[in-house]
Amino acid sequence: MEFPQLSLSYSSYDEANAPWMLVTGGRPPAPKWLAALQDYTSCWAADHGIDVCHQARLLPDVLLGDGDSASAPSWNWAGKNGVSIQKYPVAKDYTDTQLALQLMMEAGAPAIILTGAFGGRFDHAYSTMFSCAGIGIPCALIDETESLFFVKTDQSASLTFHAIPKAISLLPFTETCSGVTINNVRWPLTDAILTQKSPTAISNELLTGPKALSICTKTGILGVYCYWESP
């Protein structure tokens, strides 16, 4: 998966299958960053995410949600331009983002890029992060200042940075992650055990010189978080 500030590849993912993108209703990505994001084959918007798409003149293939946070002009813009709209009731168990993730997987998405996931309400961000961690395909949450993706049992990931991050943190999304290895950072790990109860692998730094690193875990779901200072 290719982003303006990094390239991400997985040991178990066929790079020939371009991911799909989901735009949600948290902090909107910078228009310039969003315009530079080209590595996807289908775009979906979840509720307020249609406002981001409208502002960027990025017409999604699908708009879904209950419409409680999207503006009427943006919703109407989508309808007038032939976007497939799936309307759901406000009173439901799942968030619009959770519904979108489920439907995208059912529609055949090989991987998902999710933007507009950070900022805003913590409860929605929490739900989105754990929902993405638990799905069966690669999922990257990203905008111009933050990214979060997941490395799962017996999986490895390689990152090549086009912009050097301010911090790299490893966040267990299961009770424990064992056999965690990361190289080319100030504080490398080899076959380490990280626990959700006491996260300690926070604010690591890329070594001066290298622009690439690899991460793997033998068991668990490991979140890899990167932070860039605002341009």
- Dump pLDDT digits (tens) for 3-26: 999 999 998 777 778 999 999 988
Contact 3, 37 (CB under 8 A): yes
Q: How long a stretch of residues is the chain?
A: 231
- Dump pLDDT digits (tens) for 79-120: 999 999 988 777 777 888 999 999 999 999 999 999 999 987
All structural domains of the chain: 1-144 (3.40.50.10240), 145-231 (2.60.120.320)
- The whole-model pTM stands at 0.91
Query: 231 falls in which pLDDT band (50, 70, 90)?
Result: low
What mean pLDDT is reported for the chain?
Answer: 92
Smallest CA-to-CA distance from 49 within 38, 60, 36 is with 60
- Dump pLDDT digits (tens) for 141-166: 999 999 999 999 999 999 999 999 99
DSSP E strands, the chain: 6-10, 20-23, 43-46, 62-65, 84-87, 112-115, 139-142, 146-152, 155-161, 167-172, 176-182, 189-195, 212-217, 221-227
Smallest CA-to-CA distance from 36 within 58, 60, 14 is with 58
- Is the Cα dihedral 221, 23, 9, 19 positive or negative? positive
CA distance 86 to 223: 31
Smallest CA-to-CA distance from 116 within 215, 30, 20 is with 30
Q: Is the pLDDT of residue 60 over 90?
A: yes
Query: 210 falls in which pLDDT band (50, 70, 90)?
Result: confident
